[in-house]
Amino acid sequence: MKKLVFVACAVAALSAAFAPRFLDKARAAPPAPVTSPTVALLGDSITEGGLWANYFPNQRVLNLGISGDTTEGMLNRLGALLAARPPKVFIMAGINDLLRGRAPDDVFATYRQILSELDGGNRKIYVESTLYVTQPVNLAINEKVARLNTRLRQLCEQTGRCTFVDMNTTLAAGGQLTREFTGDGLHLNQAGYEAWFAQLKSRQLLD
């Protein structure tokens, strides 16, 4: 009997301790899947953190950004995007690959596979440049970012299968991610997302 009472008390204590965490996770749960999206965004945490429905008010937006994801991860989960059949796709990827030591040419090869899978069906594909970083992130990575972006730009221009959108002209005009747009040297803050949105709007890519 004493054992039963002890177990019951222990369970109650654990429930009380973990309840706030469960509530926090519930509040942070992703929204319900978008039906027949008109715009999809594929990427990592930088894409995931954007409030894209606010920036595309007249569109049904599918945010496929996942924190920590790499180009290989995105290639492996393209099925969900292809099944949704959005007529417009924005992609920003590659920084996690480079930070984990992959060579720019290897990242480009995977990126090219992604674009090949997405090609067809009159789908508009916008390749948004991989963003530069700033300190405290190791600035040496920016040389690799530049190499990857050069190849992505060339691919879009030579094949016509995608449109390259150089986000670094706005978010990292000095060759590093602008301080006012980040809190940790890698991810964007609200000002950064607003600047991202402004560039897309200026190029009339939001309609």
Q: Which two tokens stand for residue 205?
A: 């890519």
Q: Which helix (H) or strand (E) holds 61?
A: strand 61-65
Helices (H), the chain: 2-27, 45-48, 52-55, 71-76, 78-84, 95-99, 104-118, 141-159, 168-171, 190-202
Which residue would you say has higher pLDDT here, 32 or 43?
A: 43
What is the mean predicted confidence (pLDDT) over 21-38?
50
Measured in whole angstroms, the distance separating CA 25 from the mean position of its chain's CA atoms is: 20
| Better-scored residue on pLDDT, 46 or 3 | 46
83 exposed, middle or buried (CB, 10 Å; 0-12, 13-18, 19+)? exposed
pLDDT at residue 15 greater than cutoff 60: no
Greater model confidence, 1 or 66? 66
Residue 123 Cα distances to 15, 90, 118, angstroms:
49, 11, 8
User: Cβ-count burial of 139 within 10 angstroms (0-12 exposed, 13-18 middle, 19+ buried)?
Assistant: middle
- Which pLDDT tens digit goes with each residue over 84-106? 999 999 999 999 999 999 999 99
The pLDDT score that the predictor gives to residue 34 is 67
* Per-residue pLDDT tens digits for 112-145: 999 999 987 789 999 999 999 999 999 999 999 9
> So what's the architecture of 35-202 in CATH?
3-Layer(aba) Sandwich (3.40)
* Per-residue pLDDT at 33: 58
Both structure tokens of 107: 């990242």
Supply the pLDDT for residue 114: 97
